[in-house]
Structure 1
Amino acid sequence: MTPLVVQDLTVTYPNGHRALTDVALTVRGGERCALVGRSGSGKTTLVRAILGLLPAGTRTTGSIRVDGREVLGAPEHTLRRLRGLLVGYVPQDPFAACDPLRTVGHHVAEAWTAHGRTPPTGAIGAALGAVGIADAARRARHHPHQWSGGMLQRATLVAGTAHTPVLTLADEPTSALDTELADEALDLLRRCCGALLLISHDLALVARHAESVLVLAEGRVVERGPAATVLHTPTAAETRRLVAAATPPPRRVIPSDRSGPVVAQVRGVSRRYGRGPGAVTALDDVSLTLTAGEVVGVVGRSGSGKSTLARIVGGMERPDTGTVHLDGRDAWSGRRTLRAGFVMPIFQDPVASLDRRWALWRTLTEPLLARGERHPRARRRELARQALDRVGLTEIDVDRLPASLSVGQAQRVAIARAIVARPALLIADEPTASLDVAAAAEITTLLRAVADDGAALLVVSHDQQRLAGYADRIATMTTGRLTPGGQPRYAAAG
């Protein structure tokens, strides 16, 4: 049987938005097919349609056959038997995929228990260890918030492929992983499933691991073919734009006379989680200074301590030892008098960082209220539209709720909200991880402009090539330690 055959699929959401129009796709046994396109192009909608997870009231026409079985319109009990056993799924948002009240091990075990089975003895620890989780059996007893985004993404990969399904749907499975781990994860997927439909914004990764590519734009297929052909000699205008945007930017030329006032400084900070022999050292005697007008990038493997450093620099988490100064004041002295919006975060999990009950106009203008600004609703809505325009979301209605957005769109909303506050210090944890290459290029240009306007930026990212195009300094985290002083790496190379 052919693992996946999609014919003339059209999907219209209850609000009238047509997300897919006449989409056709075939993934043969053993094939690695990649689905690419901008955020909001319909990629995740296609995955949800295959899994039977579209919202109630969604209208669908066409056909979706998985291993010869029609799933479009199939009853829920039939779909439940398919999910996990015949169709594996690696979600785009690993935090949302996990129950925050249960352990990571419980999340992985559900691959068996959801079907009335018991995980083989030692299977969970062995599988987590195989994807690079150190001390996996003990770490599996931790809760999701105790894992980095990259580690949690690997755990969802293990859960999604536990039964070696005939077809695995992987929705941005490597967005929180460094290049080495991303390749390892894709190699694991190749071994653990019969066929793979990979949704990814990383065209270099697609070129290395996919045999065929299908390009979506505004819910329609605009190009398809062998990966080598589509990515090297694209014919559709949309594909050409994506390929052009994926070209690594030139290394930033750092002005020799750049020297602004110190905005944030940490000295000798350390942070440990847990107690006793099972404690994890996230930061070990780290020092870093950020000045106005500069972008400092931090790179390193998943779980190396990057996100912990970002939270501590921004005063969002207290270190066990060392000092944190923001605007020349001790952040933990009890006498902090920073203005509202002095520090603004862009979190690694954009969906969870937006209040799902609030319309976008309210989310985007909330920082202004915190600053003491009072505007009538009409003005707040206009300011929200301007903020969305700035991050390339002109077409998004300010009355929409976060749940109606793709993860990439939610990420851009989170960035817009942070910039609205006009912060002196912007802390961005993987700000481009969920974005397509075109949107990522636009956002990095915007982040550079924010720094040039006088803000200090600390950017945690796995995309070292893109980071080199707009950062003034790049530091490397390795098991809780930072390269001495976060010295310029690319400036020295030039």
Structure 2
Amino acid sequence: MTAPRAMPALSVKDLTVTYADGYTALRDIDLEIPAGERWAVVGRSGSGKTTLVRAVLGVLPAGATATGSIRVDGQEILGLSESQLSALRGRAVGYVPQDPYAACDPLRTVEHHVAQAWRAHRLTPPPGRIVTDLEGVGIDDAARRAGRHPHTWSGGMLQRATIVAATAHAPPLTLADEPTSALDAELADDVLRLVRARSGALLLVSHDLTLVARHAVQVLVLADGRVTERGPAARLLAAPSAPSTIEMLDAGAPTPRRAPTGTSGPVLLRARDLVRRYGATTAVDRVSVTLRAGEVLGIVGRSGSGKSTLARLLAGMESPDAGTVVLGDGGRPRPGFVMPVFQDPVASLNRRWPLWRTLTEPLRARGERLRRAAAERAATDMLQRVGLDGVDPARRPATLSVGQAQRVAIARALAARPGLLVADEPTAALDVATTAAITGLLRELADDGTAVVVVTHDRERITGYADHVLALRAGRAEEYPLVDRSTAVD
């Protein structure tokens, strides 16, 4: 006699998801993940990856409808009440989000964040369990660190704490939605190995095909809400057949180093000896930067090195404890002279506004007044510029993927015609094809005379289009020479 077949960790059949505005994000999706197996879902931004995760978790936006079947460890998800779904989250299915900071209450400690895995089910964490689990995932001095707030932890450390929370009850299925998009390559592998070690079955959503090849056994490819290809990771990524898969692999090829253009203009940013401290921690330590019109400055470094803090200082969103930042000719810059693009694009968009209102907000700030029809036409043009052709400007941010939301955020920044654009990980949540398009757009913007600062962990790609690269280590700048280029470190 043969042993009975184990219950699949996840079984999805004929799943179709339609949002309240009529947009169909998924069509007739079939997926089965056996117990203990590792699957990955890949696809371009807007292909439906995040919608699939939301459907399995039962957290689709209000008004969205899902038909078909979703079973987690044999339990049908569709049709359950919120209280029934809450009972399953964490126990039957764990969730590791893309942004660990957004998953935490900034007013509470990291220990409180991890303890919620128990309190959500009206349980009390076993004595010493949280500290033990944090030590088990490589957090040094866990007892002391657990009592600190999330902003004092690096992204890589906080993601480890989030993994502890997601897998506290050893769920048979763990969903990881772009869990490493804002981490450098070394930390990304560490985090994925940790997720694998603490998970039963794993469904990994990622745009990083190289990472998928190392950590998934099977791959499902989505395009326009449909499955276009599936199969073993090694075979599919080595010899793809679907055009969407081939496009992603081609876009992931190293970016050739561009030739100097000689179009640099006047100095638009001059920062001298910047220092920024948070308590006893010095996040930025005597860093100086000079950037001219038409230049792209890349800021690289490991998670926690001070990259994002430096970007906020350069954009004027934080004041330095020492040092100076001078924009343009030193006078008061015009409205919209500096425009930020944030690492968390979803949180940066007003969820209640249609896209046309978000995109034309910088125009209103300049004093332009457009009737709705004209605003919608302007928004359509902006969406086309960032590769969102066909997206209805009346849609709400909740119906967008994270990658689509990031492109909307970039389009909004460009609408102000900024002299200086400061982008913090602008392509972290994007697939490789969209990343190539966005980096090309940033380079084009610089060639038109804008100074551009890009914070990134993707050193290989930034060296393909930046004029200077500044590397940070523990808040201090290190020279990062490029071929035929000087650096921006004074």
TM-score (norm 2): 0.93
Counterpart position of 1:318: 319
1:136-215 pair list within 5 angstroms: 136-215=142-221
- The list of structure 1 runs, each at least 4 consecutive aligned residues, that deviate by more than 6 angstroms after superposition, is none
Give secondary structure in 2 for the equivalent of 1:432: coil
Counterpart position of 2:473: 478
Residues of 2 paired with 1:10 and 1:144: CA distance? Answer: 37
Distance change >3 Å, CA 90–CA 491, structure 1 → 2: farther
Distance change >3 Å, CA 135–CA 359, structure 1 → 2: farther
- Does the 8 Å contact 2:467/2:485 carry over to 1? no
Residue 51 of structure 1, CA deviation = 1.6
Question: 1:102 aligned to 2:108?
Answer: yes
Give secondary structure in 2 for the equivalent of 1:105: helix
Selected match of 1:72 from 58, 75, 78: 78
Residue 328 of structure 1, CA deviation = 3.6
1:128-143 pair list within 5 angstroms: 128-131=134-137, 133=139, 135-143=141-149
Distance change >3 Å, CA 397–CA 479, structure 1 → 2: same
What's the CA shift string for 1:174-209, capped at 9, x where partnerless?
A: 011110000000000111011100000011100111
1:44-123 pair list within 5 angstroms: 44-123=50-129
Q: Which amino acid aligns with 1:270?
A: V
Selected match of 1:253 from 259, 278, 291: 259
- Does the 8 Å contact 2:336/2:416 carry over to 1? yes
Distance change >3 Å, CA 57–CA 269, structure 1 → 2: closer
Counterpart position of 1:290: 291
Selected match of 2:276 from 265, 271, 274: 271
Q: Which amino acid aligns with 1:488?
A: P
Residues of 1 paired with 2:452 and 2:33: CA distance? Answer: 43
Question: 1:340 aligned to 2:324?
Answer: no
Q: Which amino acid aligns with 1:284?
A: D
Q: Which amino acid aligns with 2:224?
A: E
Residue 126 of structure 1, CA deviation = 4.4
What's the CA shift string for 1:233-285, capped at 9, x where partnerless?
A: 10111111111111121123335x454321112111111112xxxx2210111
- Does the 8 Å contact 1:165/1:192 carry over to 2? no
Distance change >3 Å, CA 214–CA 326, structure 1 → 2: same
- Does the 8 Å contact 2:92/2:172 carry over to 1? yes
TM-score (norm 1): 0.92
Counterpart position of 2:3: none
Give secondary structure in 2 for the equivalent of 1:469: helix
- Does the 8 Å contact 1:39/1:408 carry over to 2? yes
Counterpart position of 1:366: 361
What's the CA shift string for 1:59-117, capped at 9, x where partnerless?
A: 33222222122222234343223211221111234343223332332122111111222
What's the CA shift string for 1:37-65, capped at 9, x where partnerless?
A: 11121111211221222234433322222
Q: Which amino acid aligns with 1:374?
A: R
Counterpart position of 1:333: none
Residue 464 of structure 1, CA deviation = 1.5
Question: 1:350 aligned to 2:345?
Answer: yes
Give secondary structure in 2 for the equivalent of 1:428: strand
Distance change >3 Å, CA 126–CA 426, structure 1 → 2: farther
- Does the 8 Å contact 2:351/2:397 carry over to 1? yes
Distance change >3 Å, CA 404–CA 71, structure 1 → 2: same
Residue 378 of structure 1, CA deviation = 2.7
Residue 349 of structure 1, CA deviation = 1.2
Counterpart position of 1:327: 328
Selected match of 2:34 from 25, 28, 36: 28
Give secondary structure in 1 for the equivalent of 2:283: strand
Give secondary structure in 2 for the equivalent of 1:475: strand
Counterpart position of 2:482: 489
Give secondary structure in 2 for the equivalent of 1:373: coil
Q: Which moved more, 1:71-80 or 1:350-359?
A: 71-80
- Does the 8 Å contact 1:149/1:348 carry over to 2? no
Q: Which amino acid aligns with 1:338?
A: P
Q: Which moved more, 1:19-28 or 1:113-122?
A: 113-122
What 5-or-longer segments of structure 1 have no aligned partner? 330-335
Selected match of 1:237 from 237, 243, 258: 243
What 5-or-longer segments of structure 2 have no aligned partner? 1-6
What's the CA shift string for 1:461-484, capped at 9, x where partnerless?
A: 111122121111222111111114
- Does the 8 Å contact 1:88/1:167 carry over to 2? yes
Distance change >3 Å, CA 246–CA 492, structure 1 → 2: same
How many aligned residue pairs are there? 480
Residues of 2 paired with 1:410 and 1:7: CA distance? Answer: 28
Distance change >3 Å, CA 71–CA 480, structure 1 → 2: same
Distance change >3 Å, CA 150–CA 427, structure 1 → 2: farther
